[in-house]
Amino acid sequence: MTDRNAFALGRRGVLAAGAAQILVLALPRVALARPTLEEAVRAFTGGTEVQAGGVRLDIPPLVENGNAVGVTVAVDSPMTPDDHVRRIALFNQSNPQPEVAVFRMGPRAGRAQVATRIRLATSQTVMAVAELSDGSFWSSQAKVIVTLAACIEDLS
C-alpha cells in the first residue's frame, strides 16, 4: 500500500526555520572532500571514454536564482530497439556533490529528451552524458552564471 499523503506539504511554520532558510548548498567543508566532476563521470561510464558531441544541453547561461534552474537534455537518436539512448546523466562542477540525476529510458521513449529543474550553489559548469545502446558515451557541457535574489531572509 502506498501512503498517499506521506509527503503532505510540511505542516511546520516556515519561519521557525529562520537561519536554516539560508543558502541551501554552500558548505565549504563538504565541498572540499567531494569527488571531481571527472571522477563522477568516470564512475558513471565505468571508465569508457566519453566523446564530445551528439548531446544537446539546454540551460540558461545566466539565471536569477540557483534553486531551480531549468535544464533540457536531448540526444539525436532514432530511439529504435537497435539504436537508442539507455541513460542520460547530469553532473555539476561545484555543488557539494557532483551527481545531479540519472535518467533511464529506451526505445519506447520515442524521443531521447528529458527536462528537469536543478539546484546550482554557485556559477559553474553543468555536464550531460548520454549512454547509447552500442555502449558509447557522448557529452555536452555548459557554463551557468548564477545571480542571487536581493531581498532574502537573512542578509548578515
Residue 3 burial by Cβ neighbours in a 10 Å radius (0-12, 13-18, 19+)? exposed
Q: Which stretch binds another protein (CB under 8 A): 46-54, 103-111, 133-141?
A: 103-111
CA-CA distance, 129 to 103, in Å (whole number)? 10
**According to CB under 8 A, which one of 6, 32, 33, 52 is a site residue for another protein?**
6
**Least CB distance from residue 120 to ligand HEC, whole Å?**
17
Site string for another protein, 22-51 (x = CB under 8 A): x-xx-x--x---------------------
Beta strand 55-58 with 69-75 is antiparallel
CA triple 154-31-124, angle to 5 deg: 80
Q: Which residues contact ligand HEC by CB under 6 A?
A: 149-151
CA-CA distance, 154 to 139, in Å (whole number)? 38
* Contacting positions for another protein (CB under 8 A): 2-11, 13-22, 24-25, 27, 30, 60, 62-65, 67-70, 72, 92, 95-97, 99-106, 108-111, 113-120, 147-156
